[in-house]
């Protein structure tokens, strides 16, 4: 049976392909879960099995946004520790996070995913590393939420084995043993990872950070990931305090430490990478190690400005991340397009740091590179998966900006008229189609209050 087709016409298109091809007025034809054609003008005549035609007048079509770093459970602890740096923020919140359980994680994942999907995210990543004993299937709760939402998902199975008694930041009851963390990571890969083209679920091995993970766990996780053929993810070079910690504990900076443990390579991406010197950036470029740039979170915690222009010049793959919503309360990735551009321009490159099209590339194709899926998603090209977003730009917030890409990146948050994931609509006219937004909001509020009560000893 021939695939059913969806035809989108009369819209501006930013393909984000290798040539940054754009059309002032063009079409996209989707056949099943794959993009069949993209081009100028109206769609080809005589198409069969067309089940839907969308008039995109006044809209911009782009690839779906790709989030490369998040902590879904933090949806339940937004607005806390508002004036802290990273280490103080973690010390304040770890005792709260250590009380999470499966219903809380599911509600937090639903809230996080809903906010992102409404804002054009079609592929989400979560780095979950808090696994208190006896609290249920926390990773499974996230996977279930992503499946219910209908978004593509990379679940980075995190871990911590360095508690307070070993010089780490998290309380001892919030960490796993090294052996338990490795066994659980391998089980997650064996149970859930799908490496096939069009996969809706992939697993990554993701020890949390140098200050919450032993060197043994870092090394063994890298070995495990490569034996299983999955990617590796962690936090790196986020703050000056982290750099000082690494020098004191390991006698070297974060990048040298990562290299010594097998954590540089084309199958690795790291969140933040704010405090990188020229040698660090060169090492990432030489090895193809990717970066999840989280500008709003970095600003919220006063971490600093990542050297994104220099990373791009060195050939480092860079995508965008929301990061946990306890350090980026908006929980949206499309606002990170604007913030990535603006924050970078506060650095030494000033107005030449990033332009609007580079920012869009970070949020789409850059994210696909970082997740190892650039052959499937991240640009609008024939043969790629049908993950795309139709942004409404003819309203009051954008109608006077002639350049549609500039309108999307520099203007107000643009409404999403249609978002397709794997060819299926997950957003229509700004509302989620697969889940009940109001029910998610109620559940998240209830679970946030329950967590607060438990953390307070209630």
Burial of 69 (0-12, 13-18, 19+ CB in 10 A): buried
What is the largest distance, in Å, between two alpha-carbon atoms of the chain? 70
Secondary structure E strands in 393-428: 416-421, 424-428
119 plus 9 within the same structural domain: no
How many structural domains are present in the chain? 2
- Give the pLDDT score at 155: 98
Q: Are residues 42 and 69 in the same domain?
A: no
Collapsed DSSP state (helix, strand, coil) of residue 298 = helix
**Residue 245 has what pLDDT?**
87
Please give the pLDDT value at position 7. Answer: 98
* SS3 state at 263: coil
Same domain flag for 318 and 422: no
Q: Which domain holds residue 18?
A: 5-63+377-432
Q: Say whether both 352 and 405 belong to one domain.
A: no
Give the domain-ending residue among 370, 397, 412: 370
- pLDDT confidence of residue 333: 97
In-domain check, residue 454: no
Identify the pLDDT of residue 164: 83
The predicted pLDDT at position 458 comes to 58
Residue 337 lies in a domain: yes
In Å, how far from its chain's centre is CA 217? 24
Which of 321, 343, 370 is at the close of a domain?
Answer: 370
Which is nearest to 308 in space by CA: 333, 276, 356? 276
348-357 per-residue burial string, b: 16 or more CB within 10 A, e: under 16: eeeeebbbbb
> Ramachandran region of residue 457, left (φ > 0), alpha (ψ -120 to 50) or beta?
left
The pLDDT value recorded for residue 114 is 98
Residue 156: CATH number of its domain = 3.20.20.140
Q: Is residue 455 one of the residues assigned to a domain?
A: no
| pLDDT at 87 (0 to 100) | 81
Length of the chain: 458
Question: Is residue 126 exposed (0-12), middle (13-18) or buried (19+ Cβ within 10 Å)?
Answer: buried
List per-residue pLDDT tens for the chain, 458 residues long: 679 999 999 999 999 999 999 999 999 999 999 999 999 999 999 999 999 999 999 999 999 999 999 999 999 999 999 998 888 888 888 889 989 999 999 999 999 999 999 999 999 999 999 999 899 999 999 999 999 999 999 999 999 998 888 887 777 878 899 999 999 999 999 999 999 999 999 999 999 998 889 999 999 999 999 999 999 999 999 988 888 989 998 999 999 999 999 999 999 999 999 999 999 999 999 999 999 999 999 999 999 999 999 999 999 999 999 999 999 999 999 999 999 999 999 999 999 999 999 999 999 999 999 999 999 999 999 999 999 999 999 999 999 999 999 999 999 999 999 999 999 999 999 999 999 999 999 999 999 999 999 998 85
127 shares a domain with 31: no
H/E element, 357: helix 356-361
- The tokens describing 232, both together, are 């590796």
233: Cα separation from own chain's centroid: 12
Please identify, among 334, 354, 370, the residue that sits at the C-terminal boundary of a domain.
370
> Are both 109 and 189 inside the same structural domain?
yes
Task: State residue 1's pLDDT score.
Answer: 67
Query: What residues have CB less than 8 Å from 232, skipping those under 6 apart?
Result: 204, 205, 206, 221, 222, 225, 263, 265, 267, 268, 269
Phi, psi for residue 354 in degrees, rounded to 5? -140, 150
Q: Are 125 and 67 in contact (CB under 8 A)?
A: yes
């Amino acid at each position: 049976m021939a695939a059913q087709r969806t035809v989108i016409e009369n819209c501006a298109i930013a393909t984000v392909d290798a040539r940054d091809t754009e059309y002032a007025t063009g079409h996209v034809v989707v056949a099943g879960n794959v993009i069949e054609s993209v081009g100028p003008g109206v769609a080809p005549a005589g198409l069969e099995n067309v089940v839907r035609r969308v008039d995109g007048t006044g809209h911009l079509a782009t690839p779906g946004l790709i989030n490369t770093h998040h902590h879904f459970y933090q949806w339940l602890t937004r607005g806390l520790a508002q004036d802290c740096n990273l280490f103080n923020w973690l010390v304040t919140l770890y005792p709260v996070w250590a009380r999470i359980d499966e219903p809380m994680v599911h509600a937090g994942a639903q809230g996080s995913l809903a906010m992102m999907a409404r804002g054009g995210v079609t592929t989400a990543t979560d780095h979950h590393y808090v696994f208190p004993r006896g609290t249920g299937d926390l990773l499974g709760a996230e996977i279930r939420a992503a499946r219910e939402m209908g978004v593509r998902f990379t679940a980075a199975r995190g871990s911590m084995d360095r508690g307070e008694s070993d010089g780490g930041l998290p309380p001892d009851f919030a960490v796993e043993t090294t052996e338990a963390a490795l066994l659980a990571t391998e089980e997650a890969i064996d149970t859930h990872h799908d490496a096939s083209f069009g996969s809706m679920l992939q697993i990554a091995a993701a020890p949390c950070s140098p200050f919450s993970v032993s060197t043994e766990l870092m090394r063994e996780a890298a070995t495990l990931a490569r034996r299983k053929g999955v990617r590796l993810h962690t936090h790196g070079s986020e703050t000056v305090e982290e750099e000082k910690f690494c020098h004191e504990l390991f006698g070297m900076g974060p990048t040298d430490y990562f290299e010594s443990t097998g954590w540089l390579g084309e199958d690795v991406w790291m969140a933040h990478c704010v405090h990188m010197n020229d040698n660090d950036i060169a090492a990432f470029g030489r090895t193809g190690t990717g970066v999840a740039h989280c500008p709003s979170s970095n600003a919220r915690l006063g971490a600093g400005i990542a050297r994104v222009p220099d990373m791009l010049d060195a050939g480092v793959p860079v995508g965008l991340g929301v990061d946990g919503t306890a350090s980026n309360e908006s929980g949206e990735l499309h606002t990170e397009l604007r913030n990535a551009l603006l924050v970078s321009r506060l650095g030494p490159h000033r107005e030449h740091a990033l332009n609007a099209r580079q920012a869009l590339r970070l949020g789409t194709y850059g994210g696909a590179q970082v997740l190892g899926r650039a052959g499937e998603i991240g640009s609008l090209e024939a043969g790629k998966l049908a993950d795309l977003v139709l942004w409404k730009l003819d309203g009051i917030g954008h109608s006077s900006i002639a350049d549609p890409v500039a309108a999307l990146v520099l203007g107000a948050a643009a409404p999403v008229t249609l978002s397709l994931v794997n060819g299926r609509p997950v957003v229509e006219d700004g509302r989620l189609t697969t889940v009940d937004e109001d029910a998610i909001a109620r559940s998240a509020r209830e679970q946030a209050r329950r967590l607060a009560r438990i953390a307070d000893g209630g």
